[in-house]
Amino acid sequence: MATATNYIGQPTSRVDGTAKVTGAAKYAAEYNVPDLTYGYVVSSEIAKGKITKLDTREALAIPGVLQIFTHENRPNLAWFDSSYKDDIAPPGSPFRPLYDAEVKYSGQPIALVVAEEFEVARYAASLVRVEYAPKPHETDLNEKREEAYEPPKKRSGIPPPAKPRGDAERAFDNAAVQHEAEYRHAIEHHNPMEMHASTVVWEGNGKITVYDKTQGAQNSQGYVAGIFGFKQDDVRVISSYIGGAFGSGLRPQYQLFLAVLAARELKRSVRVTLTRQQMFTFGYRPDTIQRLALGATADGTLEAFMHDALANTSQFEDFQEDDVNWSGLLYKCANTKFTYKLAQLDLYTPIDMRAPGGATGMYAIEAAMDELAYKTGVDPIELRLKNYSEKDQNKDKPYSSKELRECYRQAAEKFGWSKRTSEPRSMRDGKELVGWGMATGIWEAFQQKASAKATLGLDGKLEVGSATTDIGTGTYTIMTQIAAETLGIPIDDVTFKLGDSTLPTSPVEGGSWTASSIGSAVKVVCDAVGEKLFKIAQEMDGYSFADVDYKDVAFSQGKLRLKRDASHAVPIVDVMRYGKINAIEEEATSSPNYLKQNGYSSYAHSAVFVEVKVDEELGMIRVTRAVNAVAGGRILNPKTARSQVLGGVVWGISMALHEETYTDHNLGRFMNHNLAEYHVPVNADIHDIEVIFVEEHDEIVNPIGAKGLGEIGIVGTAAAVANAVYHATGKRVRDLPITIDKLL
């Protein structure tokens, strides 16, 4: 029954849209407070070595400069004590700026200049004289292949390679058709529009308020409290709006540390904003070399699947991704072997970037499957269906739902795949070669423990809150929809609050788990309010709620109703008046139901089809069409959901054709650290993208049945583009991005 308060599944426009387009939405660097001071970071110019001299005299002499913090004068903090245990997400030991004179990577923050004006701080920073004793560095993964190691400690949440099955080497050797190749992609840096920034407000009473660009206000809060010795409640972190993050804000970043350090020492409010160039100094998608070896029968039945990944990390952390486990989820194969190794380079530690491991691993897997399709002469979709996996072979578990077959079918039909001629270089459009390629996408459907609170007032207005973040994905909107529908309250009367560490506990926004995790908490807390209303209504004369259970009633259009007779209804405000209450306030937590979920594997799936047109003479590639069919469980909001998948596809195209951080290995430095030289796609690069949501019902995955869509759109897309380029040109480029020089 459709009612005016049926919101879940509706294409609701962003509830924060007006605030964003009018400029009312404030970002971390936009909070102006009285007597604000400004910090500017000085970055190291060498990749490795020691600072032998740090002369700040000239800089300090500039009027308006308040202080310059370096390793020589920084305060002693718990953090600098070797026994200090970091307790942050994602787990690890983040680099400690200003610890000592050692330089461990190019761009390392080595000083913070604080001044009364931003321009003064920036100018003074240019006057800080630094001398170094450089040491030899290594930033080239190729040079470290021999020193690769299996990461000793499993970074929590990152599964190790699945155990081998059968005898993969032998099965490969005996296979009628073999494909073995090495795939690689460039280092990519997150380039959200909003650069990382923290505004620390010195409250003067031992407390600070921090406006921070982060994917987890409470993560930043815990980090600041821990290392600076604040009481948890004395640090409030606010991150109401985030201008994109893509994983770069999962960890508290160094501008937060430096801003709090300066504020605490100067007892003043301090803002530190990173420059676009400094956005290239803390984490990236790691350089990864992947070897795939696939053995199959002549008709394309997989007999051996081997996947070895080697990725770079820093000298001080073992950053890990799940690159190699995806084939065990997608394809049936009795003989498998997976390895995952790291090599330490003199670069900063990588950090999660949209679908970490998935975008990487599935690029190589799906490009290799395409090569196998040509070698066996089996159509790429047919090959995938032939080897379709009905269960998660890595864990030997069934799927809670898997509508991947429908993804292939619907996307192929929409795309017009049946009109494809399989021979490379066989399709043309005038002067251009036409290529059609496809690939599969997969991403885990996580749920994390999360809490929310709800307050329903006598005016019929509902406020719900949780300390989660909206990095631009639509969290504000979908949470408002869930709350409005659960309690049958007009959406305009519902406000959702987030991005404030004082709100109920929430994990960092990441892993595509926010819709499922915080969504479930919102549902549970609204039901708690609903049950309270119901209990009161049961005592009201003239209504027959006394004889039924909570599951027999529903809320819509501001009324509590009997499900079997919706006309039997009482206004919510009447119930509250009868109970003589002015407000109902509840707080609740939703945790994964392991009892229910543990028997299953839960993943979102997709099939992505791409058309490229290649100018044969110039080697220029255009992605003219893309169709991505996604099975992601329940779609809470088709409008914001589509935007998530669109964004993912755009980035997949970008990964295939544009993005590449160049490292000058002589200098050990990223050279194209600006938006002029680091290529991201612009409107002219992006053409027709169609998103299909395949119907998928999943009662097991979590209470709201949504699998999350933030990451699935990128997974597989780069492979689909690379496969289409091969189909168009007959040339297989295995290291991304596929630039003109590699193609010609």
Smallest gap from Cβ 249 to ligand MOS, in A, equals 7
Q: How many residues does the chain have?
A: 744
The nearer residue to ligand MOS, 94 or 300, going by C-beta atoms, is 94
Nearer to ligand MOS, 301 or 473 (CB): 473
Q: Is 693 helix (H, G, I), strand (E, B) or coil?
A: strand
Tell me, rounded to whole angstroms, the distance of Cα 710 from its chain centroid. Answer: 7
- Nearest one of 273, 274, 271 to 34, comparing CA atoms: 271
Taking each helix axis from N to C terminus, what angle separates 358-376 and 717-729, rounded to the nearest 10 degrees? Answer: 30
Among 458, 398, 450, 417, which Cα is nearest to 698's? 398
Backbone angles phi, psi at 711, to 5 degrees: -115, -25
The mark string for 248-277 relative to ligand MOS (x by CB under 6 A, - otherwise) is --x---------------------------
Nearest distance, CB of residue 511 and ligand MOS, angstroms = 4
Q: Which of residues 281-320 bind ligand MOS (CB under 6 A)?
A: none
The CA radius of gyration of the chain, in Å to the nearest whole number, is: 27
638-657 and 358-376 helices, crossing angle to 10°: 70
380 vs 710, beta carbon nearer ligand MOS: 710
**Burial of residue 157 (number of CB atoms within 10 Å: 0-12, 13-18, 19+):** middle
Q: Quote the CA–CA distance of 466 and 453 in Å, as a whole number.
A: 7
Encoded amino acid at 719, one letter: A
Per CB under 6 A, contacts with ligand MOS among 60-79 are none
* Of 489, 505, 608, 492, the residue nearest 560 (C-alpha): 489
What stretch of H or E contains 98? none
Q: What per-residue string of b and e applies to 263-284 under the rule 16 or more CB within 10 Å gives b?
A: bbbbebbbbbbbbeebbbbbbb
Contact status, residue 398 vs residue 601, Cβ threshold 8 Å: yes
Q: Which candidate, 216, 206, 211, places its Cα nearest to that of 271?
A: 211
Provide the token pair at 95: 């680099």
Cβ closest to ligand MOS, residue 353 vs residue 719: 353
609 DSSP β-pair partners: 438, 627
- 4, two tokens: 């005016």
Minimum distance from residue 169 beta carbon to ligand MOS (Å): 34
Token pair of 423 as six digits: 């021979």
Q: Name the active-site residue from 303, 371, 509, 711.
A: 711
Give the span between the Cα atoms of 438 and 83, in whole angstroms: 51
Omega before 90 cis (within 30°)?
yes
- Between 111 and 355, name the residue whose CB sits nearer to ligand MOS: 355
Cβ distance to ligand MOS smaller for residue 38 or 446:
446
Number of Cβ atoms within 10 Å of the Cβ of 377: 12
Nearest approach, Cβ of residue 324 and ligand MOS (Å): 18
To ligand MOS, the closest distance from the beta carbon of 356 in angstroms equals: 5
Q: Which is nearer to ligand MOS, 356 or 472 (CB)?
A: 356
Count Cα neighbours of 455 within 13 Å in the Cβ-side half-sphere.
12
Question: Which of 510, 530, 558, 592 is the binder for ligand MOS (CB under 6 A)?
Answer: 510
For residues 354 and 420, which CB has a smaller minimum distance to ligand MOS in the complex? 354
Per-residue contact flags (x/-) with ligand MOS for residues 189 to 228, judged by CB under 6 A:
--------------------------x-------------
Tokens of residue 207, six digits? 């407390």
Token reading at 203:
């409250």
Q: Is 153 exposed, middle or buried (0-12, 13-18, 19+ CB in 10 A)?
A: exposed
The first and second tokens of residue 294, run together, are 């696939």
**How far apart, in whole angstroms, are the C-alpha atoms of residue 401 and residue 396?**
15
For ligand MOS, which is the closer residue by CB, 246 or 693? 246
290/358 Cα distance (integer angstroms): 13
Query: Has 711 been annotated as catalytic?
Result: yes
Partner residues linked to 571 by β-bridges:
559
Distance CA 238, CA 221 (A): 9
> Of 97-105, 232-240, 242-250, 521-529, which segment contacts ligand MOS by CB under 6 A?
242-250
Q: Which stretch binds ligand MOS (CB under 6 A): 155-163, 244-252, 254-262, 462-470?
A: 244-252
Nearer to ligand MOS, 226 or 510 (CB): 510
Interface region with ligand MOS, contact rule CB under 6 A, candidates 346-354, 376-384, 409-417, 656-664 = 346-354
Q: Is 445 in the site for ligand MOS (CB under 6 A)?
A: no
- Contact flags string 664-683 toward ligand MOS, x per CB under 6 A: --------------------
Number of residues that bind ligand MOS (CB under 6 A): 10
Closer residue to ligand MOS, CB minimum distance, 488 or 511:
511
Strand ranges in 186-287 using DSSP code E only, listed in sequence order: 197-202, 208-212, 235-238, 270-273
Residue 246 or 408 with smaller CB distance to ligand MOS: 246
Residue 434 or 715 having the CB closest to ligand MOS: 715
Binding mask 347-386 for ligand MOS (x = CB under 6 A): -----xxx-x------------------------------
Quote the least distance from Cβ 354 to ligand MOS, whole Å: 5
- What is the C-alpha separation between 139 and 352, in angstroms, rounded? 19
Could you tell me which stretch among 245-253, 285-293, 402-410, 417-425 binds ligand MOS (CB under 6 A)?
245-253
What is the full DSSP assignment across 472-538? SSSHHHHHHHHHHHHTT--GGGEEEE-SBTTSSP---S-TT-HHHHHHHHHHHHHHHHHHHHHHHHT
Among 511, 519, 648, 713, binds ligand MOS (CB under 6 A): 511
Q: What is the largest CA-CA distance in the chain?
A: 86
What residues pair up with 200 in beta bridges, in sequence order?
A: 210, 270
Bridge-based pairing state of the strands 735-736 and 177-185: parallel
CA distance 372 to 379: 10
First to last CA, the chain: 59
Per rule CB under 6 A, is residue 247 in the interface with ligand MOS? yes
- Residues of the shown chain interacting with ligand MOS in the complex, contacts defined by CB under 6 A: 215, 246-247, 250, 352-354, 356, 510-511
Q: Report the catalytic residues.
A: 711
